[in-house]
C-alpha cells in the first residue's frame, strides 16, 4: 500500500513496520525468542518519537539484563536494517529502557495526505472484515409530550452510533420503539377524549404535551384530595402532612398551567368536576381495554400517538435524525408474542406469583446458568425480581420488551439499545429473560448503550408537571444565538445564507454538546460553552473546516500527487500529518467499542492543531510555490478529515461561515 502512495490506514502501516522491525531484531539478537505481544504506544511528548515500546521491560525478566541495555542492542539492530522500513527514520533507546520510533515524515506525510485526498469522503472509514446486520434502537420517547433536551441526548447518541457503524461497513437499521401501552398513553388519550378530540393547534407534539400536563395535573389533584379525606378519617397526621404538601405543589402547577392554557385547562376542569367522574378508574379501564385489543380503545390511543409522532418526526428531521422502522409496542401484545413469552417462562419454572402479580426470578436464572461473572455482577449481588404481569392482568414495559427483542433478533445479528442509565436493571432483567428462554446467542449480542442525564442549570424538568425544556426550544435558541455570531463575523453574507448557516451551526452546537461528554457522565448544558466560535465546540470545528475550504478556494493552485511533502518540516505540520494518519484508527476504535465521544474529542484536537498551524504559518504566501503546494495539500487533507469526522457526528461541515 505504502508504495502505491495510498493507504486505508497510514498509522497502522507505521505501527506494522515498527512491530516487524522489533520482532525481527529480537529474533536475530536473542535467537529463538518471538514475543507474542509487542506493545506500542504513542509517547506523551512528540519529541520522544511517534511510537514507543516497553517490550524491553518484559524481556529483561527473562534475559536477566537491564532494560536499557536490551533497548540499546535492539535499537542498533533495527538501525542496521532500516532500509527495509520506509516509514521509520530512526530508532532510539531512551529513558530506562524504552525503544522510541521516529517517523520518516517525508514518506509518512506523502502517504497520509495522498491517501486522504485520494480516498476523499471514504478516508478513515475502514471497513470491518465481519459485517453484521445491526439494529440500533434509540430515542423511543413516549408519545405523550415533546422530546425534551434530556431525551435528545439519546437521539443524538443513537444517530451517531448508527452513522459510525454504517461507515464501518455494517448494515444498520434505526428503529424507534413506540411505547403506546401503559398508563401514560391511556391518560393522554383520556384527556384528549374528554376535550372532544380537538384538532392540534401549533406543533402536534407540543399540543399533545399540553393536554398531557393538564390531564395529569387535574387527575393527580383529584386523587390527592380523595387520599387526604381518607387519611383524615384515619387521623394519620404524618401522612396527612406529606399529602397536603404534595397537593400544594400540584395546585401551584395547576395555576401555572391555567395561566398558560386557560381554555383547555378550564374545559377539562369542568368535565372532571361533573357528576360521578372517576378518572383513575376510567384511565385504568382504557389501558386494560387497549391491551386486550378493544376496537374503540385502539382507535383512540393510536390516534393520539400518531398526532404526537408527527411532531417527533418534524423535530428529529430538523436535526437530520431519521428512522428506518417505527415499531408499535402494542403490536407485540395483540400478535400474542408477549403472551407466548410469558407462557414459555412459566414452563421454564422461572416465574412465580406474588400478591396476584406474576414475577420473573432473574436471580434464579443467573445462579442456575452461571451468568453472574459473564454479566459483570458480583456473586453476592441479588438480582431483584421483575414483575411481568400486574394483578389487574396488564403487562409491564420490560415484559413487552422481551417479545420485541426476540423479534429484533429474527432480522438482525446484533441489537444496540440506547437507553438511559436508570434502565440498567431493566436491561439486565431483559437479558436474563432471553437467557432463560434459551436465546443465548441473542442475549450475548444485546448491548445496552447507557447514558447519563442532561443538566440545565436553573431548570428542574418534569413532564407530568409540564416543566421541561424541549429539543425544539433548544434548537431555536441555538440558531438564534448562532445567527448573532454569524452576523457579527460575516455581515456581508446574504440574509438567506446567514439563516441557513445559523441553523446548521446552532443544531451542530447542540448535537456536539450532547455527544462530546463521556456517555456515563452527565452533560452540563450551558450556552456560553455550546455556542462558542473560539474553542471546544461544534461552531469552532465547523469554523475550522470553513477556514480550510476558504484557503483552498483562494489559492486556486493545483496540488498533484507528486507534491514534495518533505518540505513540511515544522513540528506543527508533522503533528497534523500524524493526526491525519491516525484518523482511521480512531474511527475503528470508536466503531468497535461504541465511543462516539472519541470522534468528538479527536475532531476537536484536529481543529485545535489546524488553527495553531494557520496562526503561525502562511499557506498561499509560503516562502516558495513548492512549499505552498505542500501546505495546501496538508490543508486539504485536514478539510477532508474534519468533514468525514463531523459527518459521523451528524453535524454539517460548512464551507462558509
Residue 143, domain member (yes or no)? yes
Stretch among 207-216, 224-233, 549-558 having the lowest mean pLDDT: 224-233
The answer as to whether 126 is a domain residue is: no
* Tens-place pLDDT, residues 591-635: 999 999 999 999 999 999 999 999 999 999 999 999 999 999 999
Residue 245 and residue 385 share a domain:
no
Q: Is residue 110 part of a domain?
A: no
Residues 237 and 253 in one domain: yes
pLDDT tens digits, one per residue of 312-350: 999 999 999 999 999 999 999 999 999 999 999 999 989
Examine the domain organization and report whether 34 and 75 are in the same domain.
yes
End-to-end CA distance of the chain: 37
CA distance 157 to 515: 6
pLDDT bin (cut points 50, 70, 90) of residue 529 is: confident
Average per-residue pLDDT for the chain: 94
390-439 pLDDT, tens per residue?
998 889 999 999 999 999 999 999 999 999 999 999 999 999 999 999 99
535 vs 369, residue with greater confidence: 369
Residue 265 in any domain: the answer is: yes
* CATH code of the domain covering residue 93: 3.30.1360.70
DSSP annotation of 492 reads: T
Instruction: Give strand pairing partners of 395.
Output: 389
Q: Do 583 and 613 share a structural domain?
A: yes
Q: By the 8 A CB rule, do 2 and 8 touch?
A: no
Task: Give the H or E element holding residue 414.
Answer: strand 414-420
Which helix (H) or strand (E) segment holds residue 352: the answer is strand 351-354
Same domain, 340 and 403: yes
Q: Which of 302, 319, 336 is the last residue of a domain?
A: 319
Do residue 394 and residue 450 come from a single domain? yes
Looking up residue 364, the CATH number of its domain turns out to be 3.40.50.620
Q: Rounded CA gap, 337 and 534, in Å?
A: 54
Domain boundary among 319, 338, 366: 319
Residues 494 and 617 grouped into a single domain: yes
Per-residue pLDDT of 265-297, as tens digits, reads: 999 999 988 867 799 999 999 999 999 999 999
- For residue 443, give its domain range: 133-179+328-455
The pLDDT of residue 233 is 76
Say how far apart CA 300 and CA 281 lie, in whole Å: 17
pLDDT category of residue 532 using cuts at 50, 70 and 90: confident
pLDDT tens figures, 90-108: 999 999 999 999 999 999 9
Does residue 249 lie in a domain region?
yes
Please choose, from the candidates 433, 412, 578, 569, the residue with its C-alpha nearest in 3D space to the C-alpha of residue 45.
Answer: 578
Shared domain for 502 and 598, answered yes or no, is yes
Average pLDDT, integer, range 130-135: 98
pLDDT in tens, 504-523: 999 999 999 999 999 999 99
Mean pLDDT of the 157-177 span: 98
Tell me what the mean pLDDT of segment 370-380 comes to: 94
pLDDT at residue 3 is higher than 60: no
The predicted structure's pLDDT at residue 576: 98
pLDDT at 458 over 90: no
pLDDT at 140 over 70: yes
In a domain, 465, yes or no: no
Same domain, 636 and 489: yes
Split at pLDDT 50, 70, 90, the class of 462 is: low
Report the alpha-carbon angle 211-212-215, nearest 5: 80
DSSP letters along 102-146, please? EE-HHHHHHHHHHHHHHHGGGTT-PPPSS--EEEEE-----TTSP
Residues 590 and 167 sit within 8 Å (Cβ to Cβ) = no
Of 287, 319, 351, the last residue of a domain is: 319
CB 137 within 8 A of CB 176: yes
Asked, for residue 263, whether it belongs to a domain, the answer is: yes
The answer on 341 and 438 residing in a single domain is yes
pLDDT in tens, 539-553: 999 999 999 999 999
29 falls within a domain: yes
d(C-alpha 185, C-alpha 330), whole Å: 11
The tally of domains found in the chain comes to 4
Q: Both 487 and 435 in a single domain?
A: no
Question: What local confidence, expressed as pLDDT, does residue 328 receive?
Answer: 98
Same domain, 312 and 354: no
Domain with residue 581: its CATH number is: 1.10.730.10
Cross-strand partners of 389:
358, 395
Amino acid at each position: 500500500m505504502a508504495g502505491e502512495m495510498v493507504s486505508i490506514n497510514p498509522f497502522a502501516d507505521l505501527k506494522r513496520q515498527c512491530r516487524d522491525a522489533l520482532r525481527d531484531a529480537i529474533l536475530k539478537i536473542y535467537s529463538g525468542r518471538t514475543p507474542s505481544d509487542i506493545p506500542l504506544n504513542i509517547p506523551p511528548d512528540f519529541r520522544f518519537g511517534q511510537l514507543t515500546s516497553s517490550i524491553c521491560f518484559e524481556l529483561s525478566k527473562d534475559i536477566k539484563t537491564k532494560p536499557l541495555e536490551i533497548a540499546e542492542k535492539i535499537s542498533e539492530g533495527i538501525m542496521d536494517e532500516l532500509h527495509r522500513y520506509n516509514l521509520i527514520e530512526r530508532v532510539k533507546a531512551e529513558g530506562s529502557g524504552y525503544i522510541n520510533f521516529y517517523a520518516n515524515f517525508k514518506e509518512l506525510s506523502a502517504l497520509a495526505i495522498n491517501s486522504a485526498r485520494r480516498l476523499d469522503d471514504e478516508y478513515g472509514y475502514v471497513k470491518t472484515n465481519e459485517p453484521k446486520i445491526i439494529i440500533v434502537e434509540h430515542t423511543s420517547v413516549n408519545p405523550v409530550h415533546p422530546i425534551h433536551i434530556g431525551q435528545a441526548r439519546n437521539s443524538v447518541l443513537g444517530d451517531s452510533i448508527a452513522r459510525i457503524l454504517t461507515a464501518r461497513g455494517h448494515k444498520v437499521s434505526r428503529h424507534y420503539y413506540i411505547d403506546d401501552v401503559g398508563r401514560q398513553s391511556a391518560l393522554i388519550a383520556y384527556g384528549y377524549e374528554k376535550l372532544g378530540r380537538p384538532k392540534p393547534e401549533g406543533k402536534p407534539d407540543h399540543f399533545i404535551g399540553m393536554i398531557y400536563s393538564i390531564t395529569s395535573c387535574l387527575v393527580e389533584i383529584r386523587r390527592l384530595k380523595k387520599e387526604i379525606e381518607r387519611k383524615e378519617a384515619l387521623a394519620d397526621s404524618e401522612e396527612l402532612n406529606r399529602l397536603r404538601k404534595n397537593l400544594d405543589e400540584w395546585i401551584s402547577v395547576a395555576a401555572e398551567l391555567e395561566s398558560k392554557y386557560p381554555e383547555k385547562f378550564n374545559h377539562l376542569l369542568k368535565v372532571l368536576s361533573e357528576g360521578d367522574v372517576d378518572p383513575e378508574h376510567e384511565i385504568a379501564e382504557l389501558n386494560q381495554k387497549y391491551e386486550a385489543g378493544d376496537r374503540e380503545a385502539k382507535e383512540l390511543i393510536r390516534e393520539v400517538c400518531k398526532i404526537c409522532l408527527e411532531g417527533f418526526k418534524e423535530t428529529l428531521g430538523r436535526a437530520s435524525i431519521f428512522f428506518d422502522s417505527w415499531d408499535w409496542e402494542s403490536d407485540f401484545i395483540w400478535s400474542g408474542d408477549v403472551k407466548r413469552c410469558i407462557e414459555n417462562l412459566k414452563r421454564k419454572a422461572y416465574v412465580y406469583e406474588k400478591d396476584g402479580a406474576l414475577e420473573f426470578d432473574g436471580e434464579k436464572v443467573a445462579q442456575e446458568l452461571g451468568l453472574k461473572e459473564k454479566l459483570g455482577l458480583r456473586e453476592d449481588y441479588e438480582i431483584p425480581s421483575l414483575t411481568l404481569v400486574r394483578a389487574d392482568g396488564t403487562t409491564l414495559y420490560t415484559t413487552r420488551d422481551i417479545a420485541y427483542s426476540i423479534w429484533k433478533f429474527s432480522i438482525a445479528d446484533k441489537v444496540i439499545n440506547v437507553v438511559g442509565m436508570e434502565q440498567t436493571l431493566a436491561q439486565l432483567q431483559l437479558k436474563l429473560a432471553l437467557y432463560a428462554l434459551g436465546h443465548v446467542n441473542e442475549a450475548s449480542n444485546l448491548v445496552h448503550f447507557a447514558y447519563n442525564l442532561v443538566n440545565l442549570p436553573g431548570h428542574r424538568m418534569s413532564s407530568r408537571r409540564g416543566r421541561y425544556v424541549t429539543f425544539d426550544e433548544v434548537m431555536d435558541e441555538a440558531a438564534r444565538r448562532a445567527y448573532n455570531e454569524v452576523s457579527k463575523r460575516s455581515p456581508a453574507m446574504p440574509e438567506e445564507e446567514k439563516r441557513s448557516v445559523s441553523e446548521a451551526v446552532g443544531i451542530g452546537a447542540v448535537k456536539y454538546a450532547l455527544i462530546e461528554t463521556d456517555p456515563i457522565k452527565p452533560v452540563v448544558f450551558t450556552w456560553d460553552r455550546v455556542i462558542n466560535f473560539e474553542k471546544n465546540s461544534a461552531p469552532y470545528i465547523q469554523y475550522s473546516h470553513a477556514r480550510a475550504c476558504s484557503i483552498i478556494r483562494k489559492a486556486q493552485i493545483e496540488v498533484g500527487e507528486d507534491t514534495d511533502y518533505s518540505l513540511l518540516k515544522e513540528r506543527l505540520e508533522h503533528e497534523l500529518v500524524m493526526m491525519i494518519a491516525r484518523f482511521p484508527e480512531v474511527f475503528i476504535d470508536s466503531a468497535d467499542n461504541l465511543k462516539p465521544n472519541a470522534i468528538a474529542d479527536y475532531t476537536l484536537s484536529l481543529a485545535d492543531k489546524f488553527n495553531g498551524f494557520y496562526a503561525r504559518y502562511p499557506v498561499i504566501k509560503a516562502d516558495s510555490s513548492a512549499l505552498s503546494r505542500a501546505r495546501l495539500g496538508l490543508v486539504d487533507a485536514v478539510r477532508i478529515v474534519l468533514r468525514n469526522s463531523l459527518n459521523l457526528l451528524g453535524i454539517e461541515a460548512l464551507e462558509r461561515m
